[in-house]
Amino acid sequence: MHELALVDQMIRILRTKAREHGATRITRVRVVVGGLSCASPWALRFAFEALTRPQRPEAAGPLQADGLLAGAALDIVERPAVARCPRCGQEFPLDEAMAACPRCGSAGKVISGTEVYLESFEAEVPEGPEGTPKDQVEEPKEDPACLRR
Ligand SMILES: [Zn+2]
């Protein structure tokens, strides 16, 4: 199950970002999963739970040892894949890799929807600039090495 590796990488990115922003706790993580990505939302959630919520405290690995992600919510945004017709330029959503253009019937070429990435996260930052307890971070558009089809 490579979702475990994906989530493991995401957690490492989150850790780095949290440190950069001086966050002590991450409360919410938003991940975008393309309709044709290699990852299953169900497996991602399972992996996230497994890596952030150990059943027994003594079983905690180095990733969850400091509780940075303890109890963090995971939002998974499923984004349908989009294809573009090479003949007429029509763009259309698709749910399987081979789909025909609704206008001319040519085989569409997938232009988005194979990605999995960390879109944003919310964290508790002690003594924020305006006393805001939450810091919405939108920058990490990193694709954690998704195995593309
Ligand atoms: Zn077409």
Burial label, 63 (beta-carbon count in 10 A; 0-12, 13-18, 19+) = middle
* Protein residues within 5 Å, CB atom, of ion ligand 1: 85, 87-88, 90, 101, 103-104, 106
Assess contact for 79 and 34: CB atoms under 8 A: yes
Dist. CA 44 → ligand 1 center (Å): 34
pLDDT in tens, 55-104: 555 555 555 556 789 889 999 999 999 999 999 999 999 866 568 899 99
Give pLDDT, residue 42. Answer: 93
Dist. CA 135 → ligand 1 center (Å): 44
Assess contact for 110 and 66: CB atoms under 8 A: no
**H helices within the chain, ranges in order?**
3-21, 41-52
pLDDT in tens, 120-149: 999 998 865 554 444 444 444 445 444 443
pLDDT in tens, 16-59: 999 998 898 999 999 999 988 888 999 999 999 988 875 555 55
Dist. CA 15 → ligand 1 center (Å): 45
Nearest to 103 by CA among 113, 114, 94, 92: 92
Burial label, 31 (beta-carbon count in 10 A; 0-12, 13-18, 19+) = buried
Dist. CA 80 → ligand 1 center (Å): 19
Dist. CA 65 → ligand 1 center (Å): 53
pTM: 0.73
Nearest to 52 by CA among 121, 114, 148: 121
Dist. CA 115 → ligand 1 center (Å): 24
Domains, the chain, ordered by start: 3-79+114-137 (3.30.2320.50)
Dist. CA 103 → ligand 1 center (Å): 5
**Residue given tokens 């232009």 in the structure block:** 111
Dist. CA 67 → ligand 1 center (Å): 51
Nearest to 113 by CA among 77, 59, 63: 77
Residue type, position 111, single letter: I
List Cα–Cα distances, 14 to 2, 35, 40, 99, 125, in angstroms. Answer: 18, 24, 20, 36, 14
